[in-house]
A and B are shown apart, each in its own frame.
Chain A
Amino acid sequence: MRGYHDMGGLPAGPVEATEHDYAPWEKRVDALMMLLSARGLLKVDELRRNVEALGPEAYDRMSYYERWIASVTATLIQRGVLASDEIGRRMVEVEAQHEAEQAS
């Protein structure tokens, strides 16, 4: 009935009205969303739908921009812009590269 994300009016903690800096990767996710939107490869409504589709566990665990990049990824797969296999292989490469950099 009620979508997990549709939490208006449910008991919640206090709102923390503090400013915080964004990590570089978070800014990249924001820029990626803007560029994809400008190119007509993603609608903000699709972004929201795919955030809602993450499921309660992921929705709670992920930070704001983690939800965004997961949703952008899902949208690009749905649109046929990227293939799952392509993304999966690239993720392994990037992880290996990151680990090599940490080790050196």
Chain B
Amino acid sequence: MSQDAVPARFAPGDRVVVREAHPPGHLRTPFYARGASGVIERLCGAFANPEELAFNRPGLPAQPLYRVRFRQAELWPDYAGPARDTIEIEIYQHWLEAAP
């Protein structure tokens, strides 16, 4: 955790959308989650941005990291399991936008 952190924009229960972005570089947001809608489950803390650390830069200010809950059926159109099934993915704040 760092003192030099971006303020957290989201709180548990907030609906968010993962940015549909494909920049070059080292990315930690899974391809399959981009563009998906989910709900903030918790704020995990703020951590140096791995996209910057990957190039031996400080990655500061630290980015808030959230655990985001998605319905499996939201991520996989052919999902055959129960509709209540969910998956949680840890995603940095700069990859998230408030759901419209």
Contact = CB atoms under 8 A, between A and B. Distances in A.
A14 interface: no
Contact of A46 (B56, B75, B76): B56
A45 B53 contact: yes
Interface in B66-97: 75-76
A46 B55 contact: yes
A11 B25 CA distance: 25
B97 to A, nearest CB: 20
Contacts of A9: 30-32, 75-76
What is the size category of the interface that chain B forms with chain A?
10 to 19
Interface residues of A, number: 14
Interface string B1-33: 000000000000000000000100111001110
B15 to A, nearest CB: 22
Contacts of A6: 27, 30-31
A42 B55 CA distance: 10
Interface in B32-50: 32, 50
For the complex of A and B, the 7 pairs showing the least CB-CB separation, nearest first, are A45-B53, A49-B54, A45-B54, A49-B26, A9-B32, A2-B31, A6-B31
Given A9-B76, A49-B26, A49-B54, 4 more contacts: A1-B31, A2-B31, A8-B31, A46-B54
30 contacts: A1-B22, A1-B31, A2-B31, A3-B27, A3-B31, A6-B27, A6-B30, A6-B31, A8-B30, A8-B31, A8-B32, A9-B30, A9-B32, A43-B53, A43-B54, A43-B56, A45-B26, A45-B50, A45-B53, A45-B54, A46-B53, A46-B54, A46-B55, A48-B50, A48-B54, A49-B25, A49-B26, A52-B26, A78-B56, A79-B56
